[in-house]
Amino acid sequence: MKKQKPFADGIIFGFGMSISLSISLFVLAFFVFPEVTERVLMQAEPPAYHIFEERYGHETFTNLSFERMFKQSSVVLLAEPEPNKTENQKVRISEILKKNPNTNFSLSEGDEYDRSHSKFITSADCDGALVFYVGNPPRQKASFYYTDGIIGYRDKIPLHQIKQFAKN
């Protein structure tokens, strides 16, 4: 005579059902209703992403002209490495070209720039970086290296032209 194990059988049945239900929901969410799933996942993005996407659709920020990027940014700054070339060379904010009123940006000129981005600036053969932030709180959206006062991206725009946007 076979001994019944109802508790163990119930656990195994429940485990199997939960796995099959999870797989079914995954297939339903990502293959049957991808638009709904994408909309739900996009709601988890920071507010800066939504501000930009609402204004420009799927156009990427770096495809905009520098003037348009400048206008749409909440903070624009220049970050430059300290003159001494060492392994632990620091990058400092040399100039804040734009900071919208009431923008929650705690750094100021002379402060050390974010270390996670600093290593790229110090390892690149450049004089510094032009950095764009969008939203509040500001989220870095783009950065461009410059050498000898020229931003070496697309049109090789002079840095003084970017500074003119701040004056206008």
Please tell me the pTM assigned to this model.
Answer: 0.62
Looking at residues 67-85, what average pLDDT do you find? 86
Q: pLDDT tens digits for 26-46?
A: 777 777 666 666 655 555 444
Tokens of 83: 């003159």
130: β partners = 78, 144
d(CA 114, CA 93): 9
Of 152 and 80, more confident: 80
pLDDT, mean over the chain: 77
The pLDDT score that the predictor gives to residue 49 is 46
CA R_g for the chain: 25
Q: CB 121: neighbour CB atoms within 10 A?
A: 20
The percent of residues in the chain predicted with pLDDT above 70, rounded, is: 71
**Most confident of the following: 68-77, 88-97, 109-118:** 68-77
Q: CB 128: neighbour CB atoms within 10 A?
A: 24
Tokens of 106: 């705690």
Tokens of 138: 């500001």
